[in-house]
Structure 1
């Protein structure tokens, strides 16, 4: 009879522990990274009243007769499944999607956690807000590279608060120079009403750019009267070629028969001669550049003229900022002029640095960039630009790389594509990536990969020991395997989110009901056994 009472007592104890575990799960329903537990029961030792017997002769065997001695707690298992993710918008929050634990340093010991509410202390060290323990990972070098991800190199994750200035030594250029780009030569106005000896005529001057040639125009000068003889041609109409350089200087101004008109020519008006000054300015003085005055005037009378204007439109100006060794910014302005078909030139004496023209910075000569017939660069891929910034006061050389440029007919898009070097910068913010990289953003506009969070995995994560909100290894959990997120079986990270508790309230309330009913039934067992004992005692009366 007493055995049933003790069985009831064991049931009370077991269901009380079940209630304790359930209560702990419910109390941690809002604890980030919390892993719930469950209780399983096992039958305690049974008392054997009669053993089993084997069949013999014509009699069957008998089964053993045993009386159970109650129930005990078989195990308290941890549910290590992932909880739901909660978006927080806080850049220092991060959650693990999949397997793995954050690695924390507690003094000289390593502990593990799924709670990703992290922050940085005044020394720039990443720590767990819940425990104050330092987060472990691997620091990146200046190029954002890591060594091996192992236990020997893992260390505190520390943010780099400032980035020192780096001198620019390379600028890359790319995209397209327009193969159809041409300079323009326009007739602004003309008044060539000529008269002499009672004869008169009105001449007409026209220009047509020669397709496929650079700075070359066909011209025509014609009179209305058939008796007019222009430049000794015996005709009232002459044609020829006008060629300039990129600055508007006249190179060639001659008729198709080879007559040079640059020094002037005569026009015979039915026997009366008129002298034309081919290149004069507004005062009648000789010039060579079209933009300095008029192209044609009669006997120094600049009211009788053909006024031309040259505009250098086959040019691409590219401004790029470079930095000296002390982080000061200098703006370099390069002017790429189309000087011939498939040829662009940077004038040695027209490079500007900080809006000031600086000479002799390209090695003593103009730099020519040439292209083949397919629009690909085939010469002048690189050139060194050397100047002396005022701060450091020492010579600085920057390689200009044009190898990625093309020349096709189309938009003029050529520009710089990559510039190394930068000014010094202070840390403004940081963020995590899905692969565990810690990326810092600095005031100089630079982002730099600073570190990678370390993750730990275990053969038996349920074998970890809970202690003050973190997990510790045990002899049954296995040694930790360290690695980076999103590789080698480790889960990826979800930035700006937290992992919620995986406690299931519906399941916990159900467990609470079954624990209550089990406790109630075991208490009833004790009272019933007591009543039976009372009946037995009353037999004496």
Structure 2
């Protein structure tokens, strides 16, 4: 009979623990990325005798929460099994709450804790995501100008203009004056290159075959523009002027014998000025895409995700963060690879707590606690009855 006291007491203690878990789930029903916990009960035995009950442990409910759009470019959600990876002073944490932003130093961090979001480098190692040096696209020097169109055999001149970029990303407008030199050399055109101040900065010659295609060894030439622009000393600009492949009519030609006007065009092969970052986004593979003012894009990072061989054994750390115990295997990878799932950009995952389920669980716990208390009360009455009989 005395064992009934211990059985009832163990029931009350265990149901109290279950209520702690349920109340914590309800309190976090609006916590982003929160995954509720389930308490499991285990019977206690002493030999062949019953010895009550104990809490067998709390396990993470791995059901995914609802995903909703936010419109914020750095808000991310995982559709699948993966967890985001956060790092802080050597510690590694895992979370489903992707409410991230960039801090003052350009690192992508968790808004709530400031812990840094991890990516994977080319060797599969965890690395921080930092765009501090990517807010501007550095200038690129122009190295080649490509020409197209027709230098009419019946014309004496032609002209084309183009804007190139120097080592500082400054624009230099160049004018190319073409002079028909066929009277001296068949198919020959002389080229004079002038800067925006009408100062000649280079010369050259191109030649065409009888069929109007560029002639071998005269289809391109190199010039060096002095390194001075708007009073600023720069490295000299080396340019290749390219007029097309020898023997073809795909680029620059010299065909027409009827029109006295040449139609020659010039375009840069490469080069750009300093371009600012205008937009940032993440795709379903977790790739961070940077869009610059000139339309160029860069993809410098890809969000790292983690999966576990026993997800329900994750340990609560703080907020919506979890840590992995030493007895479970952690695998790092990327979204859209294997079991990691995909990334939903501009979205966040809500808590997976089901309020109806939690209320039902509370009713069960309440009844169990009451019944355990009642068992102790009945045992106490029986003991009192025994004492009364003994005194009689």
Aligned with residue 70 of structure 2, among 88, 96, 111: 88
For 2:224 and 2:99, how far apart are their aligned partners in 1?
Answer: 51
Deviation at 1:530, TM superposition (A): 2.9
Residues 527 and 165 of structure 1: is their aligned pair in 2 closer, same or farther, counting only changes over 3 Å? same
Structure with greater Cα Rg: 1
For 1:506 and 1:482, how far apart are their aligned partners in 2?
Answer: 35
Residues 393 and 32 of structure 1: is their aligned pair in 2 closer, same or farther, counting only changes over 3 Å? closer
SS in 1 for 2:340: coil
Name the count of aligned residue pairs.
367
Deviation at 1:88, TM superposition (A): 1.0
Deviation at 1:377, TM superposition (A): 9.5
Aligned with residue 168 of structure 1, among 127, 130, 142: 142
Match of 1:147 in 2: 122
State whether residues 349 and 357 of structure 1, in contact with CA within 8 Å, keep that contact through their aligned partners in structure 2: no
The structure with higher relative contact order (CA 8 Å, sep 6+) is 2
Match of 1:387 in 2: 225
Spell out the pairing of 1:123-202 with structure 2 (5 A cutoff): 123-138=105-120, 147-151=122-126, 154-155=127-128, 157-160=130-133, 161-170=135-144
State whether residues 206 and 220 of structure 2, in contact with CA within 8 Å, keep that contact through their aligned partners in structure 1: no
Deviation at 1:357, TM superposition (A): 8.3
- Please tell me whether residue 34 in structure 1 is matched to residue 7 in structure 2: no
SS in 2 for 1:448: strand
SS in 2 for 1:70: strand
SS in 2 for 1:326: coil
**1:25-46, CA deviations, whole angstroms, 9 ceiling, x for partnerless residues?**
1111111121111111121115
For 1:85 and 1:21, how far apart are their aligned partners in 2?
Answer: 24
Aligned with residue 98 of structure 1, among 80, 88, 103: 80
Residues 369 and 96 of structure 1: is their aligned pair in 2 closer, same or farther, counting only changes over 3 Å? farther
- Please tell me whether residue 9 in structure 1 is matched to residue 9 in structure 2: yes
Residues 447 and 502 of structure 1: is their aligned pair in 2 closer, same or farther, counting only changes over 3 Å? same
SS in 2 for 1:89: coil
For 2:7 and 2:209, how far apart are their aligned partners in 1?
Answer: 97
**1:299-339, CA deviations, whole angstroms, 9 ceiling, x for partnerless residues?**
xxxxxxxxxxxxxxxx9x876532111111134567999xx
Aligned with residue 451 of structure 1, among 287, 298, 301: 301
For 2:188 and 2:57, how far apart are their aligned partners in 1?
Answer: 81
For 1:417 and 1:514, how far apart are their aligned partners in 2?
Answer: 77
SS in 2 for 1:365: strand
Tell me the TM-score normalised to structure 2 length.
Answer: 0.77
Spell out the pairing of 1:305-316 with structure 2 (5 A cutoff): none
Match of 1:396 in 2: 237
Structure that is richer in helix per residue: 2
Tell me the TM-score normalised to structure 1 length.
Answer: 0.58
Residues 111 and 173 of structure 1: is their aligned pair in 2 closer, same or farther, counting only changes over 3 Å? farther
For 1:381 and 1:486, how far apart are their aligned partners in 2?
Answer: 48
State whether residues 39 and 73 of structure 1, in contact with CA within 8 Å, keep that contact through their aligned partners in structure 2: yes
For 2:363 and 2:188, how far apart are their aligned partners in 1?
Answer: 86
Flag structure 1 segments of 5+ consecutive residues without an equivalent. 49-66, 139-145, 184-213, 216-244, 249-314, 338-344, 408-413
Residues 394 and 127 of structure 1: is their aligned pair in 2 closer, same or farther, counting only changes over 3 Å? closer
Match of 2:289 in 1: 439
Flag structure 2 segments of 5+ consecutive residues without an equivalent. 180-186, 252-263
